[in-house]
Amino acid sequence: MIPVVGFEGARVAVLGLGRSGLATAWALRAGGAMPVCWDDNPAARDAAEAEGFDCSDLLKQGAFDTIKTLIVSPGIPHLYPTPNPVVLAALNAGVPVDNDIGLFFRSFATRQWDNFETLPKVIAVTGSNGKSTTSALIHHVLDQAGRRTQLAGNIGRGVLDIEPAEDGDVVVLELSSYQTELARHLTPDIAVFTNLSPDHLDRHAGVGGYFAAKRRLFAEGGPDRAVIGVDEPEGLFLAGQLSEGPADDRVIKVSVAQKLSGPGWQVFAKKGFLSEYRKGRQAGSIDLRAIPGLPGAHNHQNACAAYAACRALGLAPRVIEAGFASFEGLPHRSQIIAVSNGVTFVNDSKATNVDAACKALAAFKNIRWICGGLEKDGGLGDLPAAAGNVCKAYVIGREAAGFAMQLTGVDAEVCGTMEIAVRRAIEDAQDGDVVLLAPAAASFDQYDSFEKRGDDFIAQVQAGLGSV
């Protein structure tokens, strides 16, 4: 646990008592603060009270009269689409609003670091797609290289739930836009921006607000090194804002769409080969094609970003390559779950938006595509055009018929449920085909999470293959 500093003897309100909210309450108490907790869910309040925390309605008159700061859990919208009433009450009372990420960055460094030979580092990864895989890959490479490392944030443990730093530690944080938009302190040593595609538009009042939330990690924090994916205009713009000129190697540009050149520091992948150039000369290369845990161009982008971050820490290219080779990938992200009679079954349930699904479709050939769910703002956009490798689509979700109608030029069958979609895909599949779950939609019309959706896909595949 990271005890929160700066609130000794103060009352600090905590809104939202899920995983990060409870961890925040414990960390505040460990630092000498007095947490005042609230959640609209009575069961969550009961659980917090059972652990000895005071729960008090933060909307009652005078609730913020003695509160020093309000800490908001990331799942709670604080401004858009409408201001959260508790957040609004805090702002009207002049009470600062923060989140657990802000508390982490103000509390992680301690006086003990004065005795360390090697100062701990924080690598923070954000972006629309690939940030989980990139974060996990960095963590894996460091672990395989013998560096003590912890993985936290939007993946793994809550940021305040990790262990205090030891000499030479590296903490890898995956940060969503929900986490970066509100944190009052953002000071990573290395910050990574994978890519940007429209997502969470209602929460951020449009793509501009969404990009602004991601950009805060770099603009507010001033990292020593920034790894920036430049295949979208926003990434190119961000790299330009952070750089003092073409030779400024504090910015490492990353691409899977083009060969990068110039006097600066670049990492790019073309046709499955990763190349690193610095000061106009090649400094490293890796053949990514034979690495099973990193299939497809989208994972090659993740590999480039992870490689750049590890190189910024001083790891040698061959050490990074060895870590890549043993990386098994993450569940629900291009996860190969079975191969039967020449047919490969791939679970990419994390492909919850159009851009992620397009990248998954580009990674395989002869695809039997299971898609559909709760459609996000902006529609399907270029998704039909990206479906050139699709033999047939099997559409699930409550609005499966409407989703299927938008897949112009794609042979689409309305299935409704995962059970039917998997069964029909198995019946149709031939040697060399890939049955791919890449929904291009949220899961919440039928499942509690994308993980639950992926688990159902795995279960249905296992049941279907068992009956063949």
**pLDDT of residue 373 exceeding 90:** yes
Report field, pTM of the whole predicted structure over 0.95: no
Give the residue among 194, 174, 154, 149 at the shortest CA–CA distance from 315: 149
CB 376 within 8 A of CB 210: no
CA 358 to the chain's CA centroid: 17
Q: Is 208 annotated as a binding residue?
A: no
AA identity, residue 311: R
CA 265 – CA 251 distance, rounded (Å) = 7
pLDDT of residue 299: 92
Q: Which two tokens stand for residue 177?
A: 């836009």
- Percent of the chain, pLDDT > 70? 100
**pLDDT of residue 382 exceeding 90:** no
Q: Is 280 annotated as a binding residue?
A: no
CB 298 within 8 A of CB 362: yes
- Domain 108-325: which CATH number of 3.10.20.340, 3.40.1190.10, 3.20.20.140, 3.40.50.300: 3.40.1190.10
Q: Is 21 annotated as a binding residue?
A: no
Region 1-8: mean pLDDT is 97
The DSSP code for 282 is E
Mean pLDDT of the chain: 94
pLDDT of residue 339: 94
CA 291 – CA 431 distance, rounded (Å) = 22
Where along the chain do its domains lie? 11-98, 108-325, 335-462
CA 55 – CA 84 distance, rounded (Å) = 18
CB 61 within 8 A of CB 89: no
Q: Tell me the pLDDT tens digit for each residue of 383-419.
A: 888 899 999 999 999 999 999 999 999 999 999 999 9
Q: Token pair 């950009």 is at which residue? A: 215
Q: Tell me the pLDDT tens digit for each residue of 199-210.
A: 888 899 999 999
CA 119 to the chain's CA centroid: 26
Region 96-103: mean pLDDT is 97
* Consecutive H or E run containing 222: none
Name beta bridge partners: 276: 267, 284
Please check whether the two domains, 11-98 and 335-462, share a CATH topology: no
Q: Which of 33-37, 291-295, 310-314, 390-394 has the weakest average pLDDT?
A: 291-295
340 or 296: whose pLDDT is higher?
340
Q: Which two tokens stand for residue 431?
A: 């040697």
- Domain 335-462: which CATH number of 3.40.710.10, 3.90.190.20, 3.40.190.100, 3.40.50.300: 3.90.190.20
Q: Which two tokens stand for residue 352?
A: 């919850």
pLDDT of residue 379: 76
Q: In Å, how far are 146, 148, 150, 201, 342 from 143, measured between CA atoms?
A: 5, 6, 9, 36, 35
| Adjacency order of strands within the sheet including 11-15 | 54-55, 34-38, 11-15, 67-72, 97-98
308-311 long-range Cβ contacts below 8 angstroms, 24+ apart: 308/192, 308/227, 308/252, 308/254, 308/265, 308/267, 308/276, 309/123, 309/125, 309/134, 309/138, 309/190, 309/192, 309/227, 310/138, 310/141, 310/142, 311/252, 311/267, 311/276, 311/284
The contacts of residue 111 (CB under 8 Å, 6+ apart) are: none
Q: Is 127 annotated as a binding residue?
A: yes
Q: Which of 51-55, 290-294, 298-302, 421-425 has the weakest average pLDDT?
A: 290-294
The 3-state DSSP class for residue 134 equals helix
| pLDDT band at residue 19 under the 50/70/90 scheme | confident
**pLDDT of residue 333 exceeding 80:** yes
Pairing of strands 335-340, 343-347: antiparallel
The contacts of residue 141 (CB under 8 Å, 6+ apart) are: 306, 310, 315, 319, 320, 323, 324, 327
List phi, psi (to 5°) of 450: -65, -30
pLDDT of residue 303: 97
Q: Tell me the pLDDT tens digit for each residue of 130-180.
A: 999 999 999 999 999 999 999 999 887 899 999 999 999 999 999 999 999
CA 105 to the chain's CA centroid: 19
Q: Token pair 């609004």 is at which residue? A: 88
- Bond from prior residue into 85 cis (ω within 30 degrees of 0): no
| pLDDT band at residue 198 under the 50/70/90 scheme | confident
Q: Which CATH architecture has domain 11-98?
A: 3-Layer(aba) Sandwich (3.40)
Region 90-102: mean pLDDT is 97
| pLDDT band at residue 253 under the 50/70/90 scheme | very high
The contacts of residue 3 (CB under 8 Å, 6+ apart) are: 27, 30, 31, 32, 107
| pLDDT band at residue 220 under the 50/70/90 scheme | confident
Region 240-253: mean pLDDT is 96
pLDDT of residue 468: 56
Q: Token pair 């039967």 is at which residue? A: 340
Give the residue among 361, 358, 371, 352 at the shortest CA–CA distance from 457: 371
Q: Is 195 annotated as a binding residue?
A: no
Instruction: For CA atoms 296, 298, 299, 304, give the dihedral sign.
Output: positive
AA identity, residue 105: F
